[in-house]
Chains A and B, each alone.
Chain A
Amino acid sequence: MFKRIYSILLKELNSYFYSSIAYVFLLLFILIPNVLFFYFFGGIFGEDNATMRTYFGMLPYVFIIFIPGLTMGAWAKEKNTGTLELLLTLPVRQSEILFGKFIASLIVVIIALTCSLFIPLMTYFFLGDFDKGQLLTQYFGAILMACTYISISFFLSSLTMELINSFFLTASFLLLLTLAGYLSMFMKFYVWLEWLQKVLSYIGLQTHFANFSKGVIDSRDLAYYVGTTAIFIYLNIRTLEIKRWS
Chain B
Amino acid sequence: MIRVENLVKSYSKGEPAVKAVTFNINKGEIVGLLGPNGAGKSTIMKMLTGFLAPTAGKITIDGKDILDDPLEIKKLIGYMPENTPSYGDMTVYEYLSFIANIRGIKDERIEESILKVVKITAVEDVVTKKIKQLSRGYQKRIYLASVMIHEPQILILDEPTSGLDPNQVIAFRKIVRKLSRQKTVIISTHVLSEIEATCERVIIIKKGSIVADNTIQNLIKENSDDEYIEFSIEAENLEDIELEFAKIKEAWKIEFTKKEAKNKFRFMALTRKNSSFEEKLKETVKNNSWKLNNYQRNNVNLEELFIKYVGEDF
* Residue positions of A touching B, CB distance < 8 A: 3-4, 6-8, 10-11, 14-15, 18-19, 81-83, 85-86, 88-93, 244-246
Question: Quick check: B98 and A89 within 8 Å, CB to CB?
Answer: no
A116 to B98 CA separation, bound complex (whole angstroms):
32
CB 8 Å contact bits of B73-84 with A (1 = contact, 0 = none): 011010101010
B-side interface size class: 20 to 34
In the assembled complex, which residues on chain A have CB atoms less than 8 Å from the CB atom of B88? 81
In the assembled complex, which residues on chain A have CB atoms less than 8 Å from the CB atom of B75? 91
Question: Quick check: A90 and B74 within 8 Å, CB to CB?
Answer: yes
CB 8 Å contact bits of B42-82 with A (1 = contact, 0 = none): 00001001111101000000000000000110110101010
Question: Quick check: B89 and A18 within 8 Å, CB to CB?
Answer: yes
Question: Quick check: A3 and B101 within 8 Å, CB to CB?
Answer: yes
In the assembled complex, which residues on chain B have CB atoms less than 8 Å from the CB atom of A8? 102
In the complex, whether B119 has a CB less than 8 A from a CB of chain A is no
Main secondary structure of the interface of B (DSSP, over half): loop
Question: Quick check: A91 and B86 within 8 Å, CB to CB?
Answer: no
Main secondary structure of the interface of A (DSSP, over half): helix
Question: Quick check: A245 and B53 within 8 Å, CB to CB?
Answer: yes
In the assembled complex, which residues on chain A have CB atoms less than 8 Å from the CB atom of B166? none
Question: Quick check: A91 and B104 within 8 Å, CB to CB?
Answer: yes
In the complex, whether B99 has a CB less than 8 A from a CB of chain A is yes
Q: Kindly provide the distance from the CB of B72 to the nearest chain A CB, expressed in whole angstroms.
A: 8
Question: Quick check: A88 and B101 within 8 Å, CB to CB?
Answer: no
Question: Quick check: B86 and A89 within 8 Å, CB to CB?
Answer: no
Question: Which one of A7, A91, A246 contacts B98 once the chains associate, using CB atoms below 8 Å?
Answer: A7
List residues of B (82-103) whose CB comes within 8 Å of A's CBs.
Answer: 83, 85-90, 94, 98-99, 101-103
Question: Quick check: B102 and A83 within 8 Å, CB to CB?
Answer: no
Question: Quick check: A86 and B85 within 8 Å, CB to CB?
Answer: yes
Q: Kindly provide the distance from the CB of A13 to the nearest chain B CB, expressed in whole angstroms.
A: 12
User: Can you pick out 5 interface pairs between chain A and chain B where the beta carbons lie within 8 Å of each other?
Assistant: A89-B49, A89-B51, A91-B75, A91-B104, A245-B55
A224 to B52 CA separation, bound complex (whole angstroms):
35
Q: Kindly provide the distance from the CB of A65 to the nearest chain B CB, expressed in whole angstroms.
A: 25
In the complex, whether B135 has a CB less than 8 A from a CB of chain A is no
A3 to B104 CA separation, bound complex (whole angstroms):
8
A19 to B104 CA separation, bound complex (whole angstroms):
27
